Amino acid sequence: MFRKAVSSMSYPVFLDLVVTERIVCLTAYTEIEKHIFEADADPGDDQSESIRSLRFEGHFVPGQLPPKATGVYHDRLPCVQLGKPLVLGESLSQGLAGRYFKAASYSLLDLDDPSIRSGEKSDAAVWVCGVDYEGNLRPFYNAIAFETSTKMHPMRSVRNLGTPSNLFIYQPFASTPLIQCSMTLKYNLSLGYRSSVQGFFEAQDYNYLPDMDEAFPRLELISGGGEIGAGGQHEVTVQVVSAEGRDATLYLEETGGYLPMRRVRSINGKASFKVHALGLAAGDAFKVKLGFRNYSGLLDVPFEVVA
């Protein structure tokens, strides 16, 4: 597991990150002038008053999860534009003492949100949050699931939505608690960030594209592949390699032959499956591709059909 901080976000917001086992919340604070802060009769007030049917059960406190809500389909709103409370800079960071800020927006990922279905909550997920060009955070989404057809990198996916990325959460297995996931946080160098979880280290460069491959499990071939008799059968065994040590469901796809099972579950990291050279003749070649539900092609097992 790693937590990398990259000072490459150009939009000037202070980021406040709160992480629990099932919930992640990122709040953006933007700087305001002193006279705006002083002109507000109650700068610490927030938006917890009733707004139509929506009501927050408490107040927004820096460094904590936002309050639960009523009047909506779930008690955690995934994305909210705020505007208050107004806070002193030193309440965010000592390096911001003497300056003034407002809570601009937050984006929240709740794995118990009923609108997040099984296609998103899968092994090898990258939960991404971006900030638009007005400084508002946009909703989290699993970019790997969203771009399963193009296999687009999550950074490019969120950028194409008009919201340059500022947080990647790499969830290697659906059962991995969010607090145990590797993360890449992009922040503004002039304002900085704060996190409820420790262990963030400063990146040595701005190339965070390889972080996803580093965080995800690998698949290694133990046995199988190579020559297979025409109409014959072959067994393949693979290993799921991950520091987390969790088992996963592997998805199989063949370019030829026949697979009796297209999904296999690893046990203690190992999984086996059978391949049939059905309808093939000597000289034919094909391969079996293995991966996860939304992240295919992690391993190719090639076969050559012989007489």
Confidence of residue 53 (pLDDT cuts 50, 70, 90): confident
Reduced to 3 states (helix: H, G, I; strand: E, B; else coil), residue 289 is strand
pLDDT at residue 191 in the model: 97
pLDDT at residue 245 in the model: 85
* Whole-angstrom distance, CA of residue 14 vs CA of residue 30: 6
- Are 131 and 161 within 8 A, CB to CB? no
Cα distances (angstroms) measured from residue 252 to each of 22, 115, 237: 29, 28, 13
Task: Give residue-wise pLDDT tens across range 95-106.
Answer: 999 999 999 999
Place of tokens 């006279």: 35
Task: Give residue-wise pLDDT tens across range 172-208.
Answer: 999 999 999 999 999 999 999 999 999 999 999 999 9
pLDDT > 90 fraction of the chain, expressed in percent and rounded: 87
Task: Give residue-wise pLDDT tens across range 16-32.
Answer: 999 999 999 999 999 99
pLDDT at residue 50 in the model: 60
Task: Give residue-wise pLDDT tens across range 255-283.
Answer: 999 999 999 999 999 999 999 999 999 99
pLDDT at residue 48 in the model: 59
pLDDT at residue 230 in the model: 97
* Whole-angstrom distance, CA of residue 159 vs CA of residue 139: 13
pLDDT at residue 47 in the model: 64
| Residue 285 DSSP one-character state | E
Nearest residue to 297 (alpha-carbon basis) of 259, 250, 233: 250
pLDDT at residue 52 in the model: 66
Nearest residue to 172 (alpha-carbon basis) of 114, 200, 213: 213
Question: Is the pLDDT confidence value at 111 over 90?
Answer: yes
- Structural tokens at position 107: 């984006």
